[in-house]
Copies of this chain bind each other. A is one copy, B any other.
Amino acid sequence: MPRSLSGACCAHHAMTKGLSALSHPVRVEILKHLSGYDACCCKDVVRHLHLAQSTVSQHLKVLVEAGLVHVRPERQSSRYEVDTEALAGLTEALARLTQTCIDARKNRTSSHGAEANDQ
């Protein structure tokens, strides 16, 4: 972990955790697959991807811990479901970051002031 991320960076942790969960192709694929069914179980995902059940279970865990997927432990087969609200929230967080960068550039080109130099 970095030494000092005291201020604004803590606000990023929620977003970066979500983005981290989506930063693996398999997990994106899982998300898309889950969205196609009312609530499917681990075994369904295992059949769709060609990965070991334990591997899929771990990926699902990552998605759940990031808040992007809900899990409902049924009798013998847990039901996984995409949390579309959380996914939309994450998307909006990224959109805000993007807009922040675009606005910052716009402000610079209009007033044409700041340079980063300091010597």
Contact with B along A91-105 (1 / 0, CB 8 A): 100110110111011
Q: How many copies of this chain sit in the oligomeric assembly?
A: 2
Find chain B residues with CB under 8 A from A39 CB. Answer: 116
Which residue of chain B lies nearest to A106 when distances are taken between CB atoms in the complex?
A: B84
Residue pair B84, A101 in contact (C-beta under 8 Å) = yes
Find chain B residues with CB under 8 A from A44 CB. Answer: 116, 118
How many residues of A sit at the interface, in one of the four size bands? 35 or more
Residue pair A25, B5 in contact (C-beta under 8 Å) = yes
Known contacts A15-B28, A29-B8, A29-B12; decide if A94 and B90 are in contact (CB<8 Å).
yes
**A75 located at the interface, meaning its Cβ lies under 8 Å from any Cβ of chain B in the complex:** no
Residue pair B32, A5 in contact (C-beta under 8 Å) = no
A window 38-56: CB within 8 A of B: 38-41, 44, 49-51
| Bound complex: CA A40 to CA B9 (Å) | 20
Residue pair A88, B98 in contact (C-beta under 8 Å) = yes
Other than A16-B23, A44-B118, give 12 A-B pairs with Cβ distance below 8 A: A3-B50, A5-B29, A9-B29, A16-B24, A17-B23, A19-B23, A31-B97, A32-B101, A37-B108, A38-B116, A44-B116, A91-B98
